[in-house]
Amino acid sequence: MTRLPRFVVAAPGSGHGKTMIATGLMAALRARGLEVSPHKVGPDYIDPSYHGLAAGRVGRNLDPMLQGEERIVPLLLHGASTPTVADVAVIEGVMGLFDGQLGGEGFSSTAHVARLVAAPVVLVVDCAAASRSVGAVVHGFTTYDPEVRVAGVILNNVASPRHEAEVRASIVGIPVLGVVPRLPEIVVPSRHLGLIPVAERTPEAVAAVDALADLIGEHVDLDALLELARTAPDLHATPWSPTVGEPVDTTGPTVAVFGGPAFSFTYAENVEQLTAAGAHVVTVDPLAGDRLPLGTAALVVGGGFPEMHLDALAANADLLEDVRGFVEAGGPTVAECAGLLYLGRALDGVAMAGAVPMSAEMTRRLTLGYRRATALVDGPIVRAGEQVTGHEFHKTAVTYDTDAANPAWRWELHDGTSATEGWVRGSVHASYLHVHGAGHPEHAARLVEAARQYAASVPA
């Protein structure tokens, strides 16, 4: 049994200030000297970067679709015990409290995760355009699902003491834990896929998080919130471990993992699995002038915003040449979304690595959603016929050479049709699909084994 005080921060829908409040709570609790374990429901990469900045430890995701229901509590406990044992876990929800996978009857919703981890829910409600109607909203959310314990509310965007009094009078049967005034000076800029990642604006992000800590510390009853967190029952589970099977030699092959402002979308657990499988993981930041480290035996180029840094990426011609040469030499390579674009010939007309026979361009169409994909061919991380659950989220389109059709996946679309996506040839797997390693632990083990074999084949 594990004792872990915890609560979930949810909202009636997107746009209520959930991320701002959750991040501020993490920072304010940390300012009190508490170890805070930060978590985010769903496949988000950006919100966890702000959580990590606020809590001083890695922000992690809880997503039943990507990780499996049975792993949610173990992953929560892993995060809450790494690198040290946390005093409290704060879990930010996604969208509205009961919004989950389309057609999945709330599967992978915030409410679903709250039930799995047996945590009380704090509802954040934007009061900017309502007063007594807020009471009806809160009543509806507290009674909609008796298995979800909505145990407190934080009122956001309250205009005045008179506005606050009117809203408070409408809320019955549930404590108001905080009242956050309308303060437009705290701004966290966003772009087409959400907030701007912390890696791209660290000084400004630090200032914003510090301001949120002060705001929440002043306007939310942290003592009452902690008391609520302590009502969560003990958890009966073993923390998730990135190790699969017996521990391996940790002096294994070098695996280069892209990072920095242009490639900040990487789940922490995926990297932990590579290390646990024996890899020596080295972070490569293309914008810092990095090159592939000597002896690189596998390459992982994850997601991010390469379209915002095209000139700088192109300016690091040495790294582009390194990557192209590594791929041409048969080096095991895995690319997700932004990584796919980087491996192509060009993005918006700017030359990239040229290791995959395609070009890409930004579009106005947002493509997103969970995908249940079937691998069409063998590659460095999957075998033909295996099924994978991943997530797609981008505003780009790719055009492959007509004679270069080697798709990685096939998946069903909502209209009943199917589609193929990605590119696999030899030791290269490049696709739009983001996959969480906890749901598919064999991927890291296979990539590291492929790296070992590649390293052994290269003359010393």
Active site residues: 337
d(CA 337, CA 341): 7
Q: What order of strands is seen across the sheet that includes strand 6-10?
A: 60-62, 36-41, 88-92, 6-10, 121-126, 150-158, 176-181
Give, as one character, the DSSP assignment of residue 117: H
For tokens 């690198």, the residue is: 83
**Which residues have a Cβ under 8 Å from the Cβ of 301 and sit 6 or more positions away?**
258, 263, 323, 333, 334, 335, 336, 338, 339, 342, 343
Q: Tell me the three state secondary structure of residue 42.
A: coil
**Which residues have a Cβ under 8 Å from the Cβ of 79 and sit 6 or more positions away?**
37, 38, 39, 58, 60, 86, 89
**Which residues have a Cβ under 8 Å from the Cβ of 69 and sit 6 or more positions away?**
116
Residue 88, beta-bridge partner list: 36
Return the HEC string of 258-276. ECCCCCCECCHHHHHHHHH
CB of 387 within 8 A of CB of 374?
A: yes
d(CA 292, CA 276): 21
Q: Two tokens at 44?
A: 């988000």
Residue 393, beta-bridge partner list: 368
CB of 297 within 8 A of CB of 331?
A: yes
CB of 360 within 8 A of CB of 421?
A: no
CB of 10 within 8 A of CB of 97?
A: yes
Residue 126, beta-bridge partner list: 156
DSSP per-residue letters across 135-178: HHHHHHHHHS-TTS-EEEEEEEEE--HHHHHHHHHH--SS-EEE
